[in-house]
A and B are shown apart, each in its own frame.
Chain A
């Protein structure tokens, strides 16, 4: 089966979600990758290690404009005869995959957490992570967008051939006036380790100990909704039902009681550690490891323990 995988290679390096998408494509069939921009051939051909046979690259435009990318991926789907098209369900995939679904009359399965089963049904996250759905696609072509951090990239060896491709991308739909990137840090949706805190920290001036632990672990920082709403932390750090939904390998929550809306954003985490003074906090029911104690004492102690562990290993 011919599979087309779109990856965003802007910025010249391959994100983990790109490698996840190629790995997923390889599970379904023979993978051709399509991308745009100026990323070097050597970097693109390294996608072969994850199972890509060929990379089609349109160097005539940069960026992630949804209309341009829809035309590009649509042209590539036609050129390759692909019947499955794979995206990462990241901010680019969310804008492009639905457009492409209309353009190609292809059923779209978004938020996939599993490979198609024997009947072609695909498991997805629904009800904000509180349940899974199994989706059947009724069209000949299908588009699958993967929930980030659901599949580990797997190296299979090999290298991909690079082909210049004219995707007839046309004009962009949006004009980008400026880009703002917060200084440093790990972007939250891609982070494998996350340290998060809530109202239990009593004030924004106490976030130093959260950041210390995050720095020591190489983790991203996050927060609960009330903390973002009262302005202690920026909105982009808010995880939960109405904020960012994350699926890190490790989620450490200090001073967060664990309301159902917060859990909806983090219950895809592989391991949850909860630190709370209240032994009755609902979050302990969702936790793998619990520490009934004062975050003001436990966080610095944990930071020291991580330091010690790193020095010894």
Chain B
């Protein structure tokens, strides 16, 4: 089983989100980067579990600059065998997906796993784009993944429930909560990660279909209106007449 796991860096979930350069750029001041949680907790860990039960290898791939190497080393410490960094600044989902698809083409990966979305851009785009580039089936937002021979069975979220689907390998799977449990790297893993191969490959073509040209923050909330806990009629009246939501 040859598995490719796509990872991205993301600001730590507790990061304060601010912007610089006239609100055109995300401010990295004091921001700690982590492996995007969906990529790490679900895609990478499930990939490792499959390798442990079926044999094979887990390669991680990211599109990024040398600044991304600490997050790549962390993913190696959790247990991936090797890493590939495609040397370009990731700016757009189409660019990232195109680079990864170009890298993966002809390498014989049975499974290409991604997280369901990044927690910074929330696009949920890369998995579908890789699948279309490579003409592979995609299981979008899978919460369970089992491999049986040349096929995989997945639980896949649908509106108001889930579907159990079967897909022929090779396939692309975007991974959501439920697929695996987070693993904390141990000291041996961290030591081993230092010497695992991290191959840097040149970017192929960087077409930007879309660009983020500006950002803004939501308007600050006005102060909370406190309601007497004894008087819920007053709350209902406010929800009806003032907020107009019931």
Q: A94-B141, A108-B209, A134-B215 are in contact. Are A125 and B227 (CB under 8 A)?
A: no
Q: Is the CB of B235 within 8 A of A291?
A: yes
CB neighbours (8 Å) of B239 from chain A are 250, 271, 273, 289
Would you call the interface of chain B mostly helix, strand, loop, or mixed?
mixed
Min CB distance A144 to B, Å, is 11
Q: Is the CB of A242 within 8 A of B37?
A: yes
Q: Does B127 contact A (CB under 8 A)?
A: yes
Q: Report the separation of the CA atoms of residues A176 and B156 in the bound assembly, to the nearest whole angstrom.
A: 10
Q: Which B residue's beta carbon lies closest to that of A251?
A: B245
Digitize B194-207: 1 where CB-to-A-CB distance is under 8 Å, 0 elsewhere. 00000000000000
Q: Is the CB of B122 within 8 A of A111?
A: yes
Q: Report the separation of the CA atoms of residues A177 and B160 in the bound assembly, to the nearest whole angstrom.
A: 17
Q: Is the CB of B161 within 8 A of A182?
A: yes
Q: Report the separation of the CA atoms of residues A64 and B94 in the bound assembly, to the nearest whole angstrom.
A: 23
Q: Report the separation of the CA atoms of residues A306 and B232 in the bound assembly, to the nearest whole angstrom.
A: 9
Min CB distance B216 to A, Å, is 5
Q: Is the CB of A261 within 8 A of B13?
A: yes
Min CB distance A258 to B, Å, is 11
Q: Does B124 contact A (CB under 8 A)?
A: yes
Q: Does B229 contact A (CB under 8 A)?
A: yes
Q: Is the CB of B213 within 8 A of A102?
A: no
Q: Report the separation of the CA atoms of residues A158 and B58 in the bound assembly, to the nearest whole angstrom.
A: 56
CB neighbours (8 Å) of A105 from chain B are 209
Q: Does B113 contact A (CB under 8 A)?
A: no
Please count how many residues in chain B sit with their CB below 8 Å of the partner chain's CB atoms: 76
Q: A127-B120, A128-B119 are in contact. Are A298 and B232 (CB under 8 A)?
A: yes
Within 8 A of A (CB), among B158-188: 158-167, 177-178
Q: Is the CB of B161 within 8 A of A135?
A: no
CB neighbours (8 Å) of A77 from chain B are none
Digitize A94-123: 1 where CB-to-B-CB distance is under 8 Å, 0 elsewhere. 111111111101111111000000000100
Which of A22-30, A54-62, A187-195, A199-207 lies at the interface with chain B?
A187-195
Min CB distance A284 to B, Å, is 5
Min CB distance A305 to B, Å, is 4
Within 8 A of B (CB), among A284-313: 284-294, 297-298, 301-302, 304-306, 308-309
Q: Report the separation of the CA atoms of residues A135 and B229 in the bound assembly, to the nearest whole angstrom.
A: 44
CB neighbours (8 Å) of B210 from chain A are 107-109, 135-138
Q: Does B238 contact A (CB under 8 A)?
A: yes
Q: Does A133 contact B (CB under 8 A)?
A: yes
Min CB distance A208 to B, Å, is 18
Digitize B224-246: 1 where CB-to-A-CB distance is under 8 Å, 0 elsewhere. 11110110110111111001011
Within 8 A of B (CB), among A223-242: 235-236, 238, 241-242
Q: Is the CB of A176 within 8 A of B161?
A: no
Within 8 A of A (CB), among B32-79: 37-38, 41
Q: CB < 8 Å: which of B138, B163, B209, B229 contacts A294?
A: B229
Q: Does B191 contact A (CB under 8 A)?
A: no
Q: Which A residue's beta carbon lies closest to that of B137?
A: A173
Nearest 6 interchain pairs by C-beta: A293-B229, A98-B128, A173-B137, A187-B160, A95-B140, A107-B209
6 sampled A-B residue pairs with Cβ under 8 A: A179-B163, A241-B37, A242-B38, A250-B243, A290-B227, A309-B240
